[in-house]
Amino acid sequence: MRKALAVGRKEFRQIARDKRTLMILLFFPAFVLVMFGYALNFDIRHIALAADDRDGTSESRQLVAAFVNSGYFDFVAAARSPAEVERLMDANDVRAVLVIPEEFARRVRSGETAEVQVLINGDNANTAVTVLGYATAIIQSVSAQYRVVPVIPPIVVEPRIWYNPELRSSLFLVPGLIAYIAMLTAMIATALSVVREKEHGTMEQVRMAPLSTPQFVIGKTIPYLIISLGSSILILITSGLLFGLPLRGSWWLLLLAITLFLIGALGTGLFVSTIAETQVIAFQLALLMAFLPTFVLSGFIFPIANMPAPIQMLTYAIPARYFLVALRGIVLKGVDVSVIAPQLWALTAYSFVVLALASIRLKRSWV
């Protein structure tokens, strides 16, 4: 027992010297609990709603107010034409559009059935099903206030799901998996490449070569960018064959979005390699940095609008957030470059920042 206690004291001293391990043991579990506890929220709220009110009566405004007062919908726009509705849905400015036809109030007052249409963005199948349930329940509640004959409801909802009318979960999951696979493989490839040179001692030869740090970073990135781009294209083709993932937009625009995303992922891998000293640590860091942001903070599974404000601010630094919007817009909606331009610029900025940080840290380690 005395020998075991001696080993225990020695191990405590060893842990105290290893600050990195101590931080992981003490603070990482709490960090994961806070992050997952707030970000993983299956309740759907703050659904962006637009209204195309073609009746303009107190009854139609009351129906719109019922959506807003429910606490699930946020009124963000008043659509005036089908073209404006399409623009709002393509740009992800709204998740649902309430279309109230002309003669709505007259039909309700006279005891006739008034049909109300609800257009729902179906690029996220799980959210679309929940939004449809909310909208149906609200309209039924309002309809009950006007009901005269118990059998005939005064207001009937006509739902229409855009982009994914069958609500196939594969069209929602596959783009997110593509982002995760591309992010993970690209990060691991570059992170292990640089750390491998550290372990084998060849990094010393690179330091002695007449080579600047940006040149080294670019040279390390180009081969893995070509390989990762080929792998991503293969994944897209396989997804189309096996899961029926459509491509309604431009191939060239899709390649541009993937290339920008991969450059950021490769730059992140290079940045990881400046922190890790062994391939095992580099692999673990790359796995953690790819999994947590892509699955939890990108809007892949859980809507960003449901997260607390501080975590929502954190998601702006996640490249998968922008890539998923661009990818779903191209393959499911067939949007042009003007619609996803903000996402492409955000991916460009992220790539530049992480490559610059990787270059700075590598330069410092060479001094």
The rounded distance, in Å, linking the Cα atoms of 191 and 188 is 5
Q: What pLDDT is recorded for position 346? A: 93
- Amino acid in the structure at residue 366: W
CA atoms within 13 A on the CB side of 149: 11
* pLDDT (mean) for 118-128: 82
Classified as helix, coil or strand, 111 is coil
With tokens 């006007």, the residue in question is 146
CA nearest to 328, candidates 184, 174, 165, 181: 174
pLDDT grade for 154, boundaries at 50, 70 and 90: low
Of the ranges 99-108, 141-150, 172-181, 275-284, which is most confident?
Answer: 99-108
Cα dihedral sign, 230-235-240-241: positive
Has residue 151 got a pLDDT over 50? no
The rounded distance, in Å, linking the Cα atoms of 187 and 228 is 10
DSSP 8-class letter at 298: S
Cα dihedral sign, 62-67-73-77: negative
* CA 77 to mean position of chain CA atoms: 23
Classified as helix, coil or strand, 117 is strand
* Top-confidence residue, 10 or 223: 223
- The predicted-structure confidence for 275-296, as pLDDT tens digits, reads as follows 777 777 777 777 777 777 777 7
- What tokens does 78 get? 């008043």
The dihedral over CA atoms of 196, 200, 206, 212, expressed in degrees to the nearest 10, equals 30
- What tokens does 361 get? 């840290």
Q: Where are the alpha helices (DSSP H) in 213-308?
A: 213-243, 251-275, 279-291
- The predicted-structure confidence for 175-194, as pLDDT tens digits, reads as follows 877 887 788 777 777 777 77
Pick left, alpha or beta for residue 299 (phi over 0 → left; psi -120 to 50 → alpha; otherwise beta). Answer: left
Has residue 150 got a pLDDT over 60? no
Has residue 19 got a pLDDT over 70? no
Sheet with 73-78, strands from edge to edge, namely 73-78, 47-53, 96-100, 114-121, 155-162
Task: Please tell me the least confidently modeled range out of 14-23, 86-95, 229-238, 292-301.
Answer: 14-23
* Top-confidence residue, 279 or 154: 279
Locate the domains of the chain by residue range.
Answer: 47-162, 169-366
Q: How many CB atoms lie within 10 A of CB 240?
A: 14
Q: How many CB atoms lie within 10 A of CB 208?
A: 9
Task: Please tell me the least confidently modeled range out of 36-50, 226-240, 339-353.
Answer: 36-50
* pLDDT (mean) for 40-66: 81
User: Residue 197 is inside which H or E element, if any?
Assistant: helix 169-200
- The predicted-structure confidence for 246-271, as pLDDT tens digits, reads as follows 888 888 998 999 899 988 888 888 88
User: Residue 75 is inside which H or E element, if any?
Assistant: strand 73-78
Contact in structure between 79 and 88 (CB atoms under 8 Å) = yes
Has residue 348 got a pLDDT over 90? yes
Q: What pLDDT is recorded for position 347? A: 93
Mean pLDDT of the chain: 77
* Top-confidence residue, 25 or 164: 164
Helices and strands in the chain, H and E counts:
14, 5
Has residue 38 got a pLDDT over 60? no
The dihedral over CA atoms of 279, 281, 287, 288, expressed in degrees to the nearest 10, equals -170
- The predicted-structure confidence for 70-91, as pLDDT tens digits, reads as follows 888 888 888 888 888 888 888 8
* Top-confidence residue, 20 or 82: 82
The rounded distance, in Å, linking the Cα atoms of 187 and 234 is 18
* pLDDT (mean) for 36-57: 74
Kindly list the distances between the CA atom of residue 337 and the CA atoms of 40, 141, 225, in Å, as whole numbers in the listed order.
Answer: 32, 41, 22
Q: How many CB atoms lie within 10 A of CB 241?
A: 9
Of the ranges 95-109, 147-161, 165-179, which is most confident?
Answer: 95-109
Q: What pLDDT is recorded for position 350? A: 92
Q: What pLDDT is recorded for position 201? A: 61
pLDDT grade for 148, boundaries at 50, 70 and 90: very low
Q: What pLDDT is recorded for position 29? A: 55
Contact in structure between 194 and 267 (CB atoms under 8 Å) = no
Q: How many CB atoms lie within 10 A of CB 22?
A: 12
Task: Please tell me the least confidently modeled range out of 26-35, 108-117, 250-259, 344-353.
Answer: 26-35
Task: Please tell me the least confidently modeled range out of 33-42, 58-67, 134-143, 256-265.
Answer: 33-42
pTM for the whole thing? Answer: 0.72
Q: How many CB atoms lie within 10 A of CB 171?
A: 23
> CATH assignment of 47-162?
3.40.1710.10
- What tokens does 202 get? 């060849």
DSSP 8-class letter at 305: G
Has residue 345 got a pLDDT over 90? yes
- The predicted-structure confidence for 208-217, as pLDDT tens digits, reads as follows 666 666 777 7
